[in-house]
Amino acid sequence: MIKFFRKTRRFLLSEGKTGKYLKYAIGEIILVVIGILIAIQINNWNEVKKNSKKEFYLLEQMQKEFKKDSSTIATQAWLTNLKVHDGKMIKLFLRGKNNLRSDSLVSFLFFNGKTLLFQSHTPTYDEIISSGNLSLITSENLKTKISNYKSNISSANSFLFMEAHELKKKYNAHLYKYFDAEIMTYLWKNHNRREDRIITQKAMEDFKMDIEGFKNDSSSLYHVSTLIGADAELNFQYTQRINIQIYEILEELSKELGRFNQ
């Protein structure tokens, strides 16, 4: 094709047909420009197609990860709710309004001394941010929802961790006046399911325990009450805020994935 254009130009020049040569040159330039534009457009289409495939994959991965976050937060909400319930049982015991068995009492006391904080695990989104490829996600609404979600978890965990950790630190220091600290290790090491986490009567014989001393200490009720408040706040954050945000993100992800099936 290039040889053909070259021969044509030479012929026109040799024949002295300058006007036709100029028209021909302009036409040739226009054809070259059109060719370049077509090549650019094809390249753009290929790039869009490639990015579309990447976006679909990323959305699918994020959907899996946020579903896992949803499952994790449900477990955390369940556990914090149980801790609030157990705390109220201890509170009634300290007020002389129920007769908790010693094994249940000790187990409840130590499990309530643990802080349960939710940690989001979304490596796909984190990788998108760190690699600077956020533009691969076309939905601005989705990006905003995930960004707000991550920001809220970070700020909530920072505040709640400081507050809850400090309260539980004081609570545990008080608890260890009357009970061996190793009971905590025993309970979390030897029992995998929450319903099994009741210390055995035999194991209780191996640890220092002063239930009456703990019950008669007037500050015990204060420490137990503060923990109920801390776990109730965690439960509220998990059920009423974080869980709702995850649901909205999953809804948006489902909508975005639906675009690829049309």
What is residue 21's predicted lDDT score, i.e. its pLDDT?
45
Domain boundaries, the chain: 63-259
Render each residue's pLDDT in the chain as its tens digit; 262 residues.
545 445 555 554 455 555 554 555 566 666 666 767 776 666 666 566 777 888 899 999 999 999 999 999 998 899 889 999 999 999 999 999 988 888 889 999 998 888 777 888 999 999 988 888 888 899 999 999 999 999 888 877 777 777 888 888 899 999 999 999 888 888 877 555 555 567 777 778 888 899 999 999 999 999 999 999 988 988 888 888 899 999 999 999 999 998 887 6
How does 211-240 read in b/e, with b if 16+ C-beta sit within 10 Å? beebbebeebeebbebbbebbbbbbebbbe
What is residue 160's predicted lDDT score, i.e. its pLDDT?
73
What is residue 217's predicted lDDT score, i.e. its pLDDT?
95
Q: pTM (2 decimals)?
A: 0.75
Rounded CA-CA distance 208/186 in Å is 13
What is residue 6's predicted lDDT score, i.e. its pLDDT?
55
Q: Where are the alpha helices (DSSP H) in 112-261?
A: 123-131, 140-175, 182-190, 201-204, 211-216, 218-236, 243-259
Q: Name the region of 98 (left: φ>0; alpha: ψ -120 to 50; beta: rest).
A: beta
* Residue given tokens 């534009």 in the structure block: 37
What is residue 42's predicted lDDT score, i.e. its pLDDT?
64
